[in-house]
Chain A
């Protein structure tokens, strides 16, 4: 994970500030085998070259049903990246809060259906919720078997990366992550 660029970012952190660093987690979810559906995982893989700091966790969540088992309790910020079907042009990037998501998930029949909203609600229920949750969604073009993103989404990846780094830096007041 640690490249020379991120080592430089490491050095830019003020000494002695480690304990006070805000805890940030970037969680990509989706299926890497279903092309644009896996955009969150693609982003996490690319982010790994840019971010190397003990207070920032990058998690490749795959299609795990209960994200709360992957995210630490009481962190300062959780940034979730996932494909989002809203209906706009493929590659459109959205920013949501939890309250914007469809809460009407029916009670699940299989573990696959536990869902993001329910997981966050459970976390909230027990007072373990991240202080701030931001969801960044990307409108998919192709959800079908394959390992590559569609050209439309591939074109948007630099912008998506920039937006996620902005989200990190908004909270990560002690350091600027290397762009």
Chain B
């Protein structure tokens, strides 16, 4: 009993795997990101939502070690860090799965799986790859994640988009990632494929990884997320835990309740068919249960 309580206290006081406090980034006189805070612990999914140009990419690049933040702080396991390269972030267990850069399409699945981390037998210039081990491991790891492949020798380009993302996720998990950054993994995928990817997000979470899930789709974010960070024009529009916000509120925030309202007025002024559309939109806004002011909490 006592140990359990002690453990849970330790659990609570343990620093999150990744924490950003008031982080900002300038490119010359352009403010790409300002005052953004976020954290993710083991077994948690933090979703970052925002439209195009909201600063999501900049945020990922800071966390992944591609860019350095110039304001605020970035902590990994409670210690402030300034990464010089993605390799350094990777060494600290922060792995990024980019939407377009996940895999090399012409190469077999197993070669992709171990790319950059090839398992070798022997030493020095005569070190061979342990191909049997790599094929077997790739097959096993993927089937553990629920991806059942006919043949790990097939070019990864022959897999579907969702499966490719999943291979990239499985790879990051296998190589000891503690934090996974998923950059719009569902953006180019159909409904079913997206479901498959979301399932792996949950599986990674169950394995105790922290996941930072970047998306512009609240319907993908809400079911898997524990925390939600909304970005707009490089600033935080709100940071909620799951209990504080409903799916509809999240959707409304993403859609930008204020913008919808504005558009509604404009359309109304147009008269005729436009006014009709405005009427419909007003009903939609009501249905979502938001007021324009509600978007600013």
Q: Determine if chain A interacts with chain B.
A: no
Please list the residues of chain A having a beta carbon within 8 angstroms of any beta carbon in chain B: none
